[in-house]
């Protein structure tokens, strides 16, 4: 653990409510709950071979930090790949899409995850900012700091167009069980919109919504005590077999196993 990460850990260990661990196929998370709407996560993420990842943010905002070696992490914006390395802080807005290219190696990340101040958070574009952005007194003041920092924009989508509007429609209705085509305005051609959506975000609208739902389910399993079936149903997923298989693929564990790591440590003293 570097000095940067250690100082952040000391800062975030104040006012802790609970802690637990999550072990998945490619990563382990040490999770510290600070409130019913806020957590701090320390992750070790192993990458065995170079790959491109489309990172979907659900109805939460995240402030992440890491000490990244050179030539290991790149993000896609403005139609090209950009390297990010050294001591970095990454802000991810609710419903943002970030495309990463990861080289083999082990990464250590820390995250502040919050579902507070969403209306404020969604107005700020996802970006890489200087480490000085960390260490504010609250989520609201951190968001204010993010809005003032120029940084390097991570956003694939920077302009309002019909595809952006289509995505916004999916974001605002992702928990609905209705077919996306049925939710689309009658004056829009679904085949065209779907094709343009995939060009921009590297996922079809259906795959985007499904991944958004699964990410939201994982967050809800961490923050709520609701039954697994209730959690995936409230996020618009009706097919149990599909849900369990996709959750296992994405997180390296079935939901009950994922949650068991939470509950077995949840009441241990800090």
Instruction: Spell out the domain ranges in the chain.
Output: 3-153, 162-265
Predicted confidence at residue 6, as pLDDT, reads 44
Least confident of 13-22, 124-133, 173-182: 13-22
Under CATH, which number does the domain 162-265 receive?
1.10.10.60
What confidence score (pLDDT) does residue 12 get?
53
Whether residue 100 has pLDDT greater than 60:
yes
Q: What is the pLDDT of residue 138?
A: 72
For residue 174, pLDDT over 90 is answered with yes
Question: Does an H or E element contain 98, and which?
Answer: strand 97-102
Helix (H, G, I), strand (E, B) or coil at 42: strand
Would you tell me how many other CB atoms lie within 10 Å of the CB of residue 253?
Answer: 17
Lowest average pLDDT, out of 54-68, 87-101, 106-120, 126-140, goes to 126-140
Instruction: Indicate whether 4 pLDDT > 50.
Output: no
DSSP 195-218: HHHHHHHSS-HHHHHHHHHHHHHH
Q: Is the pLDDT of residue 10 over 80?
A: no
**DSSP character at residue 235:** T
Question: For position 7, what pLDDT does the model report?
Answer: 47
Q: What is the pLDDT, as a whole number, of residue 1?
A: 44
What is the rounded average pLDDT for all residues in the chain? 84
Find residue 139's DSSP bridge partners: none
- For residues 186 and 8, the model is more confident at 186
Phi then psi for residue 39, to 5 deg, are: -145, 160
**34 — pLDDT class (breaks 50, 70, 90):** confident
Specify the pTM. Answer: 0.86
In whole angstroms, what separates CA 201 from the centre of its chain? 15
- DSSP, collapsed to helix, strand or coil, labels residue 248 as helix
Q: What does the longest C-alpha to C-alpha distance in the chain come to?
A: 57
pLDDT above 80 for 105? yes
CATH homologous superfamily of 3-153 equals: Jelly Rolls (2.60.120.10)
H-state helical runs in 89-152: 118-121, 139-148
- What pLDDT does residue 133 have? 66
Q: Is the pLDDT of residue 47 over 50?
A: yes
Q: Beta-carbon neighbour count of residue 156 at 10 Å?
A: 19
Among residues 227, 2, 16, 37, the alpha carbon closest in space to that of 121 is found at: 37
User: Each residue of 121-169: pLDDT tens digit?
Assistant: 999 999 998 887 676 567 788 888 888 888 899 987 666 788 988 999 9
What pLDDT, in 10s, does the model give residues 216-258? 998 888 888 788 999 999 999 999 999 999 998 888 888 877 7
Tally of CB atoms within 10 A around 33:
20
Contact (CB, 8 A) for 105 and 72: yes
Residue 87: strand, helix, or coil: strand
How many Å apart are CA 94 and CA 34, to the nearest integer?
Answer: 19
70 and 83 in contact (C-beta within 8 Å)? yes
């Amino acid at each position: 653990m570097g000095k940067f990460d250690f100082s952040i850990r000391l800062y975030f260990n104040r006012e802790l409510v609970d802690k637990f661990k999550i072990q998945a196929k490619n990563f382990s998370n040490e999770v510290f709950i600070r409130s019913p709407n806020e957590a701090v996560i320390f992750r070790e993420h192993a990458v065995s071979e170079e790959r491109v990842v489309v990172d979907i943010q659900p109805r939460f905002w995240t402030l992440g930090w890491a000490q990244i070696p050179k030539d290991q992490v790149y993000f896609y914006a403005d139609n090209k790949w950009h390297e990010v390395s050294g001591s970095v802080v990454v802000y991810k807005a609710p419903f943002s899409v970030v495309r990463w290219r990861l080289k083999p190696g082990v990464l250590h990340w820390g995250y502040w995850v919050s579902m507070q101040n969403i209306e404020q958070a969604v107005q700020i574009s996802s970006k890489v900012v200087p480490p000085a952005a960390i260490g504010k007194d609250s989520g609201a003041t951190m968001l204010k700091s993010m809005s003032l920092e120029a940084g390097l924009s991570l956003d694939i989508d920077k302009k309002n167009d019909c595809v952006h509007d289509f995505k916004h429609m999916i974001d605002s209705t992702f928990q609905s069980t209705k077919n996306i085509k049925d939710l689309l305005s009658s004056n829009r051609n679904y085949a065209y919109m779907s094709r343009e959506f995939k060009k921009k975000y590297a996922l079809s609208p259906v795959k985007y919504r499904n991944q958004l739902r699964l990410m939201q389910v994982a967050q809800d399993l961490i923050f709520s005590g609701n039954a697994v079936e209730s959690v995936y149903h409230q996020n618009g997923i009706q097919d149990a077999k599909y849900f369990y298989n996709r959750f296992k693929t994405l997180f390296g564990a079935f939901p009950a196993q994922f949650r068991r790591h939470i509950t077995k440590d949840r009441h241990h003293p800090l």
